[in-house]
């Protein structure tokens, strides 16, 4: 049965532009017959009558996700608790269903994660589970692992417990719906619901947690999401700014992952030799040399753009988090300054080291937690299944596996999880190439002087490439330095000392980070499998202001 077979669930049909990508990675949305059979047996006997489950069906949990989400991993309920707050965060009990030794676990381990491409998902678990019996759908009983967190008045977590429960979500809400309720509760249909007081606390607790993160010097980047979708066989591109409620909800997920990481590091009772076989998400802090490079780059950029160094400059002794946060107020609605702000923030992002899964706990610089584990996505990550399994065993909520077997399994899960992250990265990169092919191919049908010039912002420069984000559609493209030099009179371009610009033979900046630029398709290089772009219009020279 091939990927283009029309039989089965329509959601599993792979659009033609993506078939070879999935085939090359050995991915198929559908599952082997033995996995489907095991899933069907679990749907028929979901274990909801388990006497060990705490009955929390009377708690008005709700799920809050993107519109159209079917695999509902998390539900929440918030309430005041004296001078603080109580957060109950329910996470789908995937580990109860996906157990080592089953065909279901073996297939989840092989996949490693759920994969997301335009108009298509390749789920880690069969949809009958991930969108059915395990998903925290509204109005039906479901198994869940509950993080019960007690927060102080300033949002700091002062106590955390974990248990298994049976819950019944009251509603499946979208971020749009919840944000509309929070913005104008009196006119919202959600105002009279039993869960309305819980939703009203989401921005209160979320803001407290964000303030706590800021105090721990967590860098909060402005995140505009660019999503690639499909309309028939064609790609679509949509940019959107995240709602505040999405950041608030994210804070609860991050808190549970941090508390779950602490749990995995804890020994059981008096037996200090018995600890869970944890898997942690580790994100090292930026290297000092890279931060020093950022300082030099920002200083050069400020000089070339003739900006106020007191407002725009940064030094490694200062807080990177506070500096990035302060960038947002510097544009004043000015398009030129807005481009510079976005470009400078992109350069701040680039100092980060990639996160990895590790058997050893360590710092997660991106969220300001140590240790940090991924409890929040057990239907979409094999790591989530495994850390749930280890946590419930650690707490005596399930029989513990043999230590040696669990250690060996942990190593296999760890390898699968890191490999899956690289696979998703490859799929995303290859998909983006297809998007560029769709965007630029029609231009080649036009005479060169009639091809459209697309405006964008220079986000970064290297000795060989100029990285540009187009205004519309808002995607990243590369202008190669040789092509750029030929387009400006054959100038020989070299990287400036601070790496903020490409300069000509006279030392004047010709392509500066934060500058607007217009690009046109010049051709396609099949040997290097890349599009050849060229700048159009005047590219002015720039020198820093003379010292006063």
* Tokens 């300033």 found at: 154
Classify residue 451: in a domain, yes or no.
Answer: yes
Cβ atoms within 10 Å of 36's Cβ, excluding its own: 16
Give the contacts of 46 (CB within 8 A, at least 6 positions apart). Answer: 97, 133, 143
Question: How do 84-92 and 74-81 pair as beta strands?
Answer: antiparallel
Any idea what DSSP says for residue 154?
A: T
Least confident interval from 94-103, 178-187, 216-225, 493-502: 216-225
3-state DSSP assignment of residue 310: helix
Classify residue 243: in a domain, yes or no.
Answer: yes
Q: Which of 409, 433, 457 is the last residue of a domain?
A: 433
* 454 and 378 within one domain: no
* 418 and 458 within one domain: no
Q: Which of 379, 412, 433 is the last residue of a domain?
A: 433
**What is the arithmetic mean of pLDDT over 158-183?**
97
* Tokens 């996470």 found at: 91
* 504 and 399 within one domain: no
What is the percent of the chain with per-residue pLDDT over 70, rounded to a whole number?
95
* 454 and 398 within one domain: no
* 375 and 237 within one domain: yes
Classify residue 469: in a domain, yes or no.
Answer: yes
In angstroms, the Cα distances linking 48 to 52, 99, 140, 142 are 10, 17, 11, 7
**What is the arithmetic mean of pLDDT over 85-109?**
98
**What is the arithmetic mean of pLDDT over 514-520?**
96
Q: How many residues can be counted in the chain?
A: 548
Q: What is the pLDDT of residue 6?
A: 41
* 252 and 391 within one domain: yes
* Tokens 């995303």 found at: 428
CA-based torsion, 476, 482, 486, 490: positive or negative: positive
* 469 and 368 within one domain: no
Classify residue 379: in a domain, yes or no.
Answer: yes
Distance, CA of 291 to CA of 316 (rounded, Å):
6
Distance, CA of 448 to CA of 328 (rounded, Å):
39
Q: What is the pLDDT of residue 296?
A: 95
DSSP β-bridge partners for residue 115 = 122
The total of structural domains in the chain comes to: 2
Q: What is the pLDDT of residue 318?
A: 83
Model confidence at 275, pLDDT cuts 50, 70, 90, reads low
Classify residue 115: in a domain, yes or no.
Answer: yes
Classify residue 523: in a domain, yes or no.
Answer: yes
Cβ atoms within 10 Å of 163's Cβ, excluding its own: 16
Q: Which of 410, 433, 456 is the last residue of a domain?
A: 433
Model confidence at 539, pLDDT cuts 50, 70, 90, reads confident
**What is the arithmetic mean of pLDDT over 298-304?**
95
Closest CA to 11 of 126, 175, 110, 106: 126
Which domain, by its residues, includes 448? 444-535
* 391 and 487 within one domain: no
Question: Which CATH number goes with the domain that contains 511?
Answer: 2.40.50.140
**Whether 474 contacts 225, CB under 8 Å:** no
What is the percent of the chain with per-residue pLDDT over 90, rounded to a whole number?
76
Does 407 score more than 90 pLDDT?
yes
**Whether 143 contacts 96, CB under 8 Å:** yes
Classify residue 479: in a domain, yes or no.
Answer: yes
* 161 and 251 within one domain: yes
Rg, Å, the chain Cα set = 26
Model confidence at 165, pLDDT cuts 50, 70, 90, reads very high
Per residue in 305-328, pLDDT tens? 999 999 999 988 888 888 988 888
Classify residue 24: in a domain, yes or no.
Answer: yes
Q: What is the pLDDT of residue 196?
A: 97
Give the contacts of 121 (CB within 8 A, at least 6 positions apart). Answer: 11, 29, 114, 115
* 231 and 206 within one domain: yes
**Helices 403-440, 16-25: crossing angle, 10 deg rounding:** 150
Distance, CA of 178 to CA of 370 (rounded, Å):
31
* Tokens 């029309």 found at: 6
* 450 and 423 within one domain: no
Distance, CA of 182 to CA of 490 (rounded, Å):
57
Any idea what DSSP says for residue 460?
A: E
* 503 and 403 within one domain: no
Give the contacts of 66 (CB within 8 A, at least 6 positions apart). Answer: 174, 175
Provide the token pair at 410.
């942990």
Distance, CA of 469 to CA of 338 (rounded, Å):
13
């Amino acid at each position: 049965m091939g990927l283009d077979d029309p039989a089965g669930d329509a959601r599993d049909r792979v659009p033609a532009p993506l078939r070879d990508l999935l085939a090359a990675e050995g991915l198929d949305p559908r599952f082997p017959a033995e996995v489907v059979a095991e899933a069907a047996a679990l749907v028929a006997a979901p274990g909801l009558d388990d006497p060990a489950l705490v009955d929390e069906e009377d708690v008005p949990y709700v799920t809050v996700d993107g519109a159209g989400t079917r695999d509902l991993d998390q539900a929440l309920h918030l309430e005041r608790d004296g001078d603080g707050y109580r957060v109950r965060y329910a996470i789908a009990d995937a580990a109860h269903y996906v157990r080592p030794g089953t065909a279901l676990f073996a297939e989840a381990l092989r996949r490693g994660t759920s994969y997301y491409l335009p108009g298509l998902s390749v789920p880690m678990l069969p949809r009958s589970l991930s969108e059915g019996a395990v998903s925290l759908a509204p109005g039906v009983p479901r198994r869940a692992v509950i993080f019960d967190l007690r927060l102080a008045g300033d949002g700091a977590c002062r106590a955390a417990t974990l248990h298994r429960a049976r819950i019944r979500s009251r509603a499946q809400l979208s971020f749009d719906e919840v944000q509309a309720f929070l913005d104008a509760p009196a006119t919202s249909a959600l105002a009279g619901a039993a869960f309305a007081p819980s939703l009203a606390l989401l921005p209160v607790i979320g803001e407290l947690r964000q303030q706590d993160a800021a105090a721990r010097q967590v860098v909060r980047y402005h995140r505009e999401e660019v999503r690639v979708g499909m309309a028939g066989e064609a790609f679509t591109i949509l940019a959107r700014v995240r709602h505040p409620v999405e950041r608030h909800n994210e804070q609860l997920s991050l808190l549970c992952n941090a508390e779950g990481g602490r749990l995995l590091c804890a020994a059981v009772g008096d037996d200090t030799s018995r600890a869970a076989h944890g898997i942690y998400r580790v994100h090292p802090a930026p290297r000092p040399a890279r931060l020093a490079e950022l300082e030099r780059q920002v200083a050069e950029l400020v000089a070339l753009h003739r900006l106020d160094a007191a407002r725009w400059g940064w030094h490694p002794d200062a807080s990177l988090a506070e500096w990035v946060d302060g960038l947002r107020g510097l544009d004043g609605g000015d398009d030129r300054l807005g481009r510079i702000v976005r470009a400078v923030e992109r350069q701040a992002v680039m100092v980060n080291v990639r996160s990895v899964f590790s058997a050893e706990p360590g710092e997660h610089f991106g969220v300001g937690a140590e240790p940090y584990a991924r409890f929040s996505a057990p239907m979409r990550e094999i790591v989530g299944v495994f850390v749930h399994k280890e946590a419930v065993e650690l707490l005596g909520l399930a029989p513990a596996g043999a230590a040696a077997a669990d250690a060996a399994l942990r190593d296999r899960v760890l390898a699968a999880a890191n490999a899956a992250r690289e696979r998703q990265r490859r799929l995303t990169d290859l998909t983006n190439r297809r998007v560029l092919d769709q965007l630029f191919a029609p231009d080649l049908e036009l005479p060169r002087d009639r091809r459209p010039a697309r405006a964008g912002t220079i986000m970064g420069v290297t000795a060989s490439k100029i990285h540009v984000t187009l205004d519309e559609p808002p995607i990243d493209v590369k202008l190669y330095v040789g092509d750029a030099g030929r387009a400006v009179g054959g100038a020989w371009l070299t990287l400036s000392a601070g790496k903020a610009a490409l300069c000509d033979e006279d030392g004047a900046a010709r392509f500066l980070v934060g500058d607007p630029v217009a690009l046109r398709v010049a051709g396609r290089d099949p040997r290097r499998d890349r599009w050849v772009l060229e700048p159009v219009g005047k590219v002015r020279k720039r020198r820093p202001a003379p010292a006063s």
